[in-house]
Amino acid sequence: MKSISYNVNGIRAAETKGLSDWLLQEDADLIALQETKAFEHQFEWSPFREAGYHIHTESAVKPGYSGVAVLSRLEPLTVVHGVGESWIDAEGRVLRLDFKDFSFMSVYMPSGSSGEERQAYKMNFLEFFGSYVQALASQLPGLIVAGDYNICHQAIDIHDPVGNARSSGFLPEERSWFDQFLGRGFDDPFRNLHPERVGYSWWSYRQGARAKNKGWRIDYQCVSNSLASRVRAAEIHPAAMHSDHCPVSLALL
């Protein structure tokens, strides 16, 4: 089973750069999208439906903001929109599909880079979400949490760890949360398989950061411990350039 996670930074804008063509060529079983910035009716999903995908979306109340989606070749048993908390769900950040022997979640964790208010929101989200997914992992046969975490976990995951030591996305308290998240029963397959590989999934649009590979690894497909033995590959795809992010993929037995 192959899954792809991709923050598209506006699905309609990404489509003008060939998003659908690239995704369909990859032939994944599951596709998690973040920051779609569109309601479901505002995007032409027919190429995916014709390719056999079931389409599920979760949009923010605010038009043109946030939003996640999951495209699945296998029809889910259950689709869970949001987490049951209005202060999170109004921003369209979480969507989960349950199957017989695993569940797959697309999550767009908040950014705190715009100021103190949003950083406080981010930390409140993280506090809630950590306990939420731990409870899910104990109830479900297996859980994949795919998405934009907006956190670089380790120094290897960011191009300038010293200069960004006080930047949102690499703050000590955010990195500590990631430690705790993994300690709650999750694995980061990319880092487990590639302990010394430098790979980034997001680059600022400013100062030619992508051309200089001055990036951050903030997109993940973490798996609950019950699925860890099934992981066969985890990769980052920087050649896909439909967004300021790039896709990350995971392969399971």
Query: What's the average model confidence in pLDDT over 108-130?
Result: 97
Query: What's the average model confidence in pLDDT over 12-37?
Result: 98
**pLDDT tens digits along 67-91:** 999 999 999 999 999 999 999 999 9
Which residue range forms the structural domain that includes residue 216?
2-252
CATH number at residue 190: 3.60.10.10
Query: What's the average model confidence in pLDDT over 119-138?
Result: 97
Tokens 């921003």 belong to 91
**pLDDT tens digits along 198-251:** 999 999 999 999 999 999 999 999 999 999 999 999 999 999 999 999 999 999
Instruction: Give the residue numbers marked as catalytic.
Output: 108, 148
Q: How many domains, in total, are found in the chain?
A: 1
